[in-house]
Chains A and B, each alone.
Chain A
Amino acid sequence: MDTMFAETPLVRVKRRRESLARGVFFCMSVAMILPLVAIVTYLVVKAWPTLSWNFLVDIPREGMREGGIWPALVGTIYLVFISLAVAAPLGILAAIYLSEYARDNWFNRIINLAVINLAGVPSIVHALFGLGAFVYAAKFGYSIISASLTLAIMTLPVIIASTREALASVPQSFREACWNVGATRWQTIRSIVLPNSVSGILTGVILQVSRAAGETAPIMFTGAVFYKAVERGTLLPYYLDEQCMALSMHLYTISTQVPGVEESLPYATAVVLLGAVLLVNASAIALRVVLRSRKKW
């Protein structure tokens, strides 16, 4: 009777394994953070001598060996903004159709499959497609338009997937409630589904900013150039049918194509790219927190 509920050797072994498993999983999740911290620290330390307000708003000088990154920064903003202005509405509307209207038949299954596969296409293939479709076939030439459309095609499937996820998070019982008082699908979507999924949809779209901003291959093939003469600090330096500079491309150029660049220059460019992306992602998270706090069910 004294030994009732006492730990048996088998239980002791199980308990030890349990704490081992827990420890391994914890270490792995900590190990995820380390590279990020290391990369950011390394970049910032290396970039420190160059980082300044002047670096942001100045144009590259002395064959890109000195000066700033203004044309590339603005170019990236152009590309990201235009590509999302195309991809977001298209992707959101397509996702609404697929989630809320499409029945489970072979045609819609093929569309689904296409969306999933499109998301897995390597960016260099998108680049080649953009070159053929927009630069040559549509005769947009090497231009901001071609590059933005290529980026839009690349981000579209991911926006569709994230929007569908956001729509699926709205409980089915809300839709049932609407249908059973005679609401059409569109009335249901407009009055209940969209207001309750808008935060997820927007977050998904904003997260694509970082992907669009970071890609090099698609824009290199379709509309980004090494150098474009632009005045220091001008806000709208490009026309849409012109080529432009972009941060990712500029980073590639000064790191590998131009000899004798001061060491801190590429690092500073990388810090600006990373900083911009983190800023955008942080704003996405903030937006989600604000919108989430308003909904409750």
Chain B
Amino acid sequence: MSPNTPYCIATKELSLWYGRFQALIGVSVEIKHGLITALIGPSGCGKTTLLRCFNRVNERYGNVTTTGEIRVLGKNIYDPDVSLIELRKAVGMVFQRPNPLPISVYENVVFGLRIHSPARSLTRSALDEAVERALTEVGLWEDLKDRLHRKGTALQLEQQQKLCIARLLPLKPRLILMDEPCSSLDVEGTRAIEELMFALKGQYTIVIVTHNMAQARRASDECLFMLMGELIEHRRTEDLFLTPQDHRTAEYIEGRYG
């Protein structure tokens, strides 16, 4: 994978079918390194489907057909030499409902390391260090350092969501995909996750699906508007909200439908 490509993700004429239903129609998009890019659009427009294409996890959800090209960090991820395991290590995902695993906080964070390394190669000190680094990065270390052996599922929702982000970090991902990460959180939780996104941006490329236009507006650098499986408009967030080019975008951000 060459890091010198202009775009972190680039798709060409990407179409996707669930059985006979076409969920994505010829989507060509280029997502820049190190930015936060938001995917917006009404329910069923294909935002989540597009997001799930980027680590090919769509294929685990049954009868899916894809045509077109997806390049992540310059590499076509449908090339035969692409390992899904390596791809998903590099492209992590955070979900709508926080889904920490029903094991301790500590084990949640090192879960990825454990499944990707032979058991003997992991020393206790390396694991401890990875946990401290990941939890510090998401701002949980101070709160949880004395409670690392509590179950991840017993934390507050906001902490759970941060833990889910921390779980990705030890694998050194390049990209973090977020599927409505704040929709089950309150105002404080949402603010905390957005602040975390700002802190992580630059180091990681973040793509976030959101239903919340205000969130897209305040928390993203670039914005993609989708409708009925098509990409309608992709511009800098400010420009998209202030001077939308397409009338459908304009009507959506005015709240005429959605």
Name A187's closest neighbour in chain B (CB-CB): B115
Interface residues of B in 129-171 (CB under 8 A from A): 151, 153-154, 164, 167-168, 171
Q: B234 an interface residue at 8 Å Cβ cutoff?
A: no
| Cα–Cα, bound, A2→B201 (Å) | 65
| Cα–Cα, bound, A162→B101 (Å) | 24
Residues of A within 8 A of B102 (CB): 174, 192, 196, 295-297
Contact between B99 and A176, CB atoms less than 8 A apart: yes
| Cα–Cα, bound, A180→B151 (Å) | 20
Residues of A in contact (CB 8 Å), total 21
* B230 smallest CB distance to A (angstroms): 26
Contact between A179 and B57, CB atoms less than 8 A apart: yes
Q: B97 an interface residue at 8 Å Cβ cutoff?
A: yes
Contact between B88 and A104, CB atoms less than 8 A apart: no
| Cα–Cα, bound, A297→B99 (Å) | 10
Contact between B171 and A181, CB atoms less than 8 A apart: yes
Q: A178 an interface residue at 8 Å Cβ cutoff?
A: yes
How many A-B pairs have beta carbons closer than 8 Å: the answer is 71
Q: A183 an interface residue at 8 Å Cβ cutoff?
A: yes
Q: B63 an interface residue at 8 Å Cβ cutoff?
A: yes
**B interface, by DSSP: helix, strand, loop or mixed?**
helix
Choose one: A179, A181, A184, A295; the contact of B111 (CB below 8 Å): A181
Name B55's closest neighbour in chain A (CB-CB): A180
| Cα–Cα, bound, A103→B88 (Å) | 21
Residues of B within 8 A of A103 (CB): 62-63
Residues of B within 8 A of A176 (CB): 57, 93, 95, 99
Q: B116 an interface residue at 8 Å Cβ cutoff?
A: yes
Name B171's closest neighbour in chain A (CB-CB): A181
Range, interface on chain B: 20 to 34
Residues of B within 8 A of A182 (CB): 84-89, 112, 115-116, 171
Contact between A177 and B164, CB atoms less than 8 A apart: yes
* B191 smallest CB distance to A (angstroms): 24
Interface residues of B in 79-133 (CB under 8 A from A): 84-89, 92-93, 95, 97, 99-103, 111-112, 114-116
Contact between A180 and B62, CB atoms less than 8 A apart: no
| Cα–Cα, bound, A252→B196 (Å) | 73
Contact between A174 and B99, CB atoms less than 8 A apart: yes
| Cα–Cα, bound, A103→B63 (Å) | 9
Contact between B93 and A183, CB atoms less than 8 A apart: no
Choose one: B84, B86, B115; the contact of A191 (CB below 8 Å): B115
Q: B60 an interface residue at 8 Å Cβ cutoff?
A: yes
Q: A173 an interface residue at 8 Å Cβ cutoff?
A: yes
Centre residue among A103, A177, A178, A182 by max chain B CB count within 10 A: A182
Known pairs A182-B88, A182-B112; A297 contacts B153 (CB<8 A): yes
Given contacts A178-B101, A178-B111, 7 further A-B contacts (CB under 8 A): A104-B63, A173-B95, A180-B55, A181-B111, A182-B89, A296-B151, A296-B153
User: What are 25 pairs between A and B in contact, CB < 8 Å?
Assistant: A103-B63, A104-B62, A104-B63, A171-B99, A174-B99, A177-B99, A177-B164, A178-B101, A178-B111, A179-B88, A180-B92, A180-B93, A181-B92, A181-B111, A181-B112, A181-B168, A182-B85, A182-B86, A182-B87, A182-B116, A191-B111, A191-B114, A295-B102, A296-B151, A297-B151
